[in-house]
Amino acid sequence: QLSKFNLSSLSLSLPSILMAPMSLPPGFRFHPTDEELVAYYLDRKVNGRTIELEIIPEVDLYKCEPWDLPEKSFLPGNDMEWYFYSTRDKKYPNGSRTNR
């Protein structure tokens, strides 16, 4: 449940609007915990609820080369860690195997 942790630790001191990557203020850092990623961002995305700042893009990982991922991130910088939403592509419509 979201109330179990402090959302103020997300370091999101930006206006609650959709922002272009280059309009982020100097010094902005996005370092959410695993719990924040799942309980806040993923939960809201899956359930169609509003996310105050759309900071994680949707990317089809099955159609991207790994070296192209940094340019798809909404966050500019030299970090070697990026965040994306992606759906799982199944090998067979009724199966559980993932298509790779």
- Does 31 map to a domain? yes
Amino acid at 19: M
Name which residue leads in pLDDT, 87 or 5: 87
Q: What is the pLDDT of residues 31-47, one digit of tens each?
A: 899 999 999 999 999 99
CB–CB of 85/58 below 8 Å?
A: yes
Most confident of 10-14, 23-27, 70-74: 70-74
48 within some domain: yes
Better-predicted residue by pLDDT, 27 or 59:
59
CB 56 within 8 A of CB 74: yes
pLDDT at 81: 86
Q: What is the mean pLDDT of the chain?
A: 76
Rounded to whole angstroms, the Cα distance separating 13 from 23 reads 13
Look at the pTM and tell me if it is higher than 0.75: no
| Owner of token pair 């939960």 | 43
In a domain, 85, yes or no: no
Give the domain range for residue 13. Answer: 2-72
| Secondary structure letter of residue 74 according to DSSP | S
Inter-residue contact 74 to 37 (CB < 8 Å):
no
Number of domains in the chain: 1
